[in-house]
């Protein structure tokens, strides 16, 4: 008889093609399934809370899977971390209800995007911070970010996922832009996000911060609800972290 487990992960996405198993590179999901197959002595499918892109990191990624071996959660945590590469770590492991689904049961997610706004980017921050040497108007970016809050059709701020979607409408709960010295952090919470939506929104906010777009342009693009154009740039994957996922 199998039992369902829930784990919380942190990972450095630099070396991976994303969370989801893909043909064009090694994924985080692949590494997890390899370790669990060793522990459970049979193939194990891992279901993640999100499909993070290539180079994107996570601090609070959630996944679920079923095991046939009776492994206690603490033993599972130790066993997985002993065999996973150093850039993937299981932070928590617990039993889950049989109907728990890491993606479908989620009530909301928080992403954080990090921009280093100065003349020089310190090398040790390079894998995790996007560099911008031009001055950024934080007040204008916050004005623009506020316009994303609420329930909107975000098709203008998403890439084609190459799969059918029921809807491109999403609900953004909050969107904050914070600056501390050269460090600019974008913090967005919502009920779910489209393919490359967060990176597209941040990319557009950076355009606003540089003076290339006005904050009101966010409302204009949302109301147009037209497929994304070159006007909406996608910020690099390396500055993005899936920060946390919350449930009931």
Q: What's the number of CA atoms in the CB half-sphere (13 Å) around residue 173?
A: 11
Please identify which residue in the block is written with the tokens 């994304």.
228
| Chain centre distance of CA 248 | 20
Strand pairing of 57-67 and 108-117? unpaired
pLDDT at 166: 79
Q: How far is it between the farthest Cα atoms of the chain?
A: 60
User: What is the C-alpha to C-alpha distance for residues 123 and 151, in angstroms, rounded to an integer?
Assistant: 39
User: What is the C-alpha to C-alpha distance for residues 70 and 219, in angstroms, rounded to an integer?
Assistant: 53
pLDDT at 101: 97
Q: What's the number of CA atoms in the CB half-sphere (13 Å) around residue 225?
A: 8
pLDDT at 162: 63
The answer to whether 203 touches 186, Cβ cutoff 8 Å, is no
- Note down pLDDT in tens along the chain; length 248 residues: 899 999 999 999 999 998 998 878 899 999 999 999 999 999 999 999 998 888 999 999 999 999 999 999 999 999 999 999 999 999 999 999 999 999 999 999 999 999 999 999 999 999 999 999 999 999 999 999 999 999 999 999 988 766 666 788 999 999 999 999 999 999 999 999 998 999 999 999 999 999 999 999 999 999 988 888 888 899 999 999 999 999 98
The answer to whether 245 touches 48, Cβ cutoff 8 Å, is no
Query: Beta-carbon neighbour count of residue 179 at 10 Å?
Result: 15
Q: Where are the alpha helices (DSSP H) in 92-170?
A: 138-146
Locate 242 and state its tokens: 């899936």
Active-site entry in 12, 40, 53, 191:
53
pLDDT at 161: 60
User: What is the C-alpha to C-alpha distance for residues 218 and 41, in angstroms, rounded to an integer?
Assistant: 51
- Check if 86 is active-site: no
Locate 103 and state its tokens: 């993606």
Which among 101, 91, 79 has a CA at the least distance from the CA of 34? 79
Residue 73 in 3-state DSSP? helix
């Amino acid at each position: 008889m199998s039992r369902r487990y829930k784990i919380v992960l942190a990972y450095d996405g630099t070396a991976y093609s994303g969370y989801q198993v893909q043909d064009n590179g090694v994924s985080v999901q692949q590494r997890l399934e390899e370790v669990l197959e060793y522990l459970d002595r049979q193939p194990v499918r891992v279901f993640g809370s999100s499909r993070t892109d290539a180079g994107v990191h996570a601090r609070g990624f959630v996944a679920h899977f079923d095991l046939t071996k009776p492994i206690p959660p603490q033993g599972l945590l130790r066993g997985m971390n002993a065999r996973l590469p150093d850039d993937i770590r299981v932070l928590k492991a617990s039993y889950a209800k049989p109907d728990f689904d890491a993606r479908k049961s989620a009530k909301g997610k928080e992403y954080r995007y990090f921009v280093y706004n100065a003349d020089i980017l310190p090398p040790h921050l390079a894998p995790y911070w996007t560099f911008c040497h031009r001055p950024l108007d934080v007040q204008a970016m916050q004005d623009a970010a506020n316009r994303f809050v609420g329930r909107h059709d975000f098709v203008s701020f998403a890439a084609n996922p190459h799969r059918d979607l029921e809807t491109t409408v999403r609900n953004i709960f909050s969107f904050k832009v914070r600056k501390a010295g050269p460090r600019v952090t974008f913090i967005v919470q919502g009920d779910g996000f489209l393919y490359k939506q967060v990176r597209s929104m941040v990319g557009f906010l950076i355009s606003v911060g540089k003076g290339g777009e006005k904050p009101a342009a966010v409302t204009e693009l949302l109301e147009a609800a037209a497929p994304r154009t070159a006007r909406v740039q996608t910020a690099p994957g390396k500055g993005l972290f899936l920060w946390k996922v919350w449930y009931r």
